[in-house]
Structure 1
Amino acid sequence: MPWGRQGAPEDPRVRIVEAASRCLAKYGLDRTSLAVIAREAGVSRQTIYKYFPTKDDIVAQALEKEASEASERLMAVASANSNAEDFVVDLCLSAIEEFGRNPAISPVISVLEHADARGRLLTPEVIAIARHYLEPILDYRPDRAQYLDEMTETYLRILLSLLTIEGPSSASPDSLRAYLRRVLVPALGLGATSPS
């Protein structure tokens, strides 16, 4: 992508999407308006309408960009481990950090958007979307392949609860890491006492 002298992209479309990403992180979805995005991008509202028909179109692209970049960071951090237990703990900690930085890309939003007609949140579609984050576990533990969907569901249940309910286990990064090793690792069937 071409960049201008001051570090801003020359392509107005790219500049608008990046501005929308910053606005979502700073102000949240409800307070991110076209006027706010235009001001952040240094363009007029008319320029925005030239490239995007609606605010929803800009927000969708910004959220897709942010989610993709967050996904890359999550996997880079988690993949730096030498065993499945550390991988899953670091994946969860990194996810909490990423989604705390920009709540608009939280899996809570995705789960709510994919709820089925009965109101079930962890639908097969949500499990399928999240499964790729846990697939690297199979590099360490190929014996867990048949349980990958179940592991993904369990991981999501714990991650969603940590993102939405504060408790003593999340008081500090160290206490959260210890909690995840005690609770998440065995819940996924990992570690020394893995069930078969």
Structure 2
Amino acid sequence: MAESETRNHRATWDIQAPPLEPRDRIIAAASRCLAAVGLERTSISAIAREARMSRQTVYNHFETKQEIVQEALTMAASAAAERIIAAARMNTSAAGFVVELCLSALREYSLNPAISPVISFVQGDEVRRRILSPHGLATARHFVEPVLSYVPEREHDLDEMTETLLRFVLSLLTLESGVTRSQDALRSYLHRVLVPALGLEPDPAYDGT
């Protein structure tokens, strides 16, 4: 009886997750390729090899490399979003939240090889217009909305705050300067410029260093 129970218990733990659908396998493979070799060296052939399928199978599900890359970046960005928001929520003030939100987003998009190729896309005017479209702003609002737990009276300003912060992030991602030379310099800049631009009170915990 005990041996039978042991076998049943082991069988329960031996259950494996169902295999990914071909389309999901392709997107996951593209994400790994982007992280390993970057955007330029991520090709249909490389994705097919990583997914262990033929190029034709890849083309059966996607027409172009760009289509696959955009899906992979979206998947990676969704995973990064939770980390970005979690880091920002550790602050005790609205000012600290928005500064850390911006810093965390810049770190992820600049240093995470799975999503850093996004920078080359956002430099185009058409992509910027889409990001700042009503749909793009509605998506970005998800990141900024937790600020209302600090300043619930600012709910009517949330859309404007979202657009302002998004414009800061886009600018800092694509235009390097002395402000972006270090995390400390960038943090100081955001406290001096972003916080008042959003109409928030200074962070009492920030001493300017």
Paired position in structure 2 for 1:104 = 117
Paired position in structure 2 for 1:6 = none
Which protein is bigger by CA-based radius of gyration?
A: 2
Identical residues among aligned pairs (%): 51
- Contact 1:89–1:177 at 8 Å: present in 2 too? yes
RMSD over aligned Cα atoms: 3.0
SS state at 1:159 partner = helix
Inter-CA distance 190–87: structure 2 relative to 1 (3 Å threshold): same
Query: How does 1:91-170 map onto structure 2 within 5 Å?
Result: 91-100=101-110, 101=112, 102-106=115-119, 108=122, 112-113=126-127, 115=129, 122-170=132-180
Question: 5+ residue gaps in structure 2?
Answer: 1-15, 204-209
For residue 55 of structure 2, what is the amino acid of its counterpart? R
Alpha-carbon separation, structure 1, partners of 2:55 and 2:141: 39
SS state at 2:90 partner = coil
For residue 51 of structure 2, what is the amino acid of its counterpart? A
For residue 130 of structure 1, what is the amino acid of its counterpart? A
TM-score relative to the length of structure 2? 0.74
Alpha-carbon separation, structure 2, partners of 1:149 and 1:71: 18
Paired position in structure 2 for 1:64 = 74
Alpha-carbon separation, structure 1, partners of 2:176 and 2:123: 18
TM-score relative to the length of structure 1? 0.78
Post-superposition offset of 1:41: 2.6
The one-character-per-residue Cα deviations of 1:127-160 (angstroms, maximum 9, x if unpaired) are 2221221111111001211211111121112111
Alpha-carbon separation, structure 1, partners of 2:141 and 2:147: 11
For residue 43 of structure 1, what is the amino acid of its counterpart? M
- Contact 1:84–1:137 at 8 Å: present in 2 too? yes
For residue 11 of structure 1, what is the amino acid of its counterpart? L
Alpha-carbon separation, structure 2, partners of 1:143 and 1:127: 20
Kindly indicate whether structure 1 or structure 2 has the higher relative contact order, using CA contacts under 8 Å at least 6 residues apart: 2
Post-superposition offset of 1:103: 2.4
For residue 122 of structure 2, what is the amino acid of its counterpart? V
- Contact 1:111–1:122 at 8 Å: present in 2 too? no
Post-superposition offset of 1:69: 0.7
Q: Which runs of 4+ in 1 moved over 6 A?
A: none
Post-superposition offset of 1:34: 0.9
Post-superposition offset of 1:51: 4.9
Question: 5+ residue gaps in structure 1?
Answer: 4-8
Paired position in structure 2 for 1:40 = 50
Paired position in structure 2 for 1:186 = 196
Alpha-carbon separation, structure 2, partners of 1:111 and 1:127: 16
SS state at 1:189 partner = coil
- Contact 2:123–2:174 at 8 Å: present in 1 too? no
Alpha-carbon separation, structure 1, partners of 2:175 and 2:117: 17
- Contact 1:89–1:180 at 8 Å: present in 2 too? yes
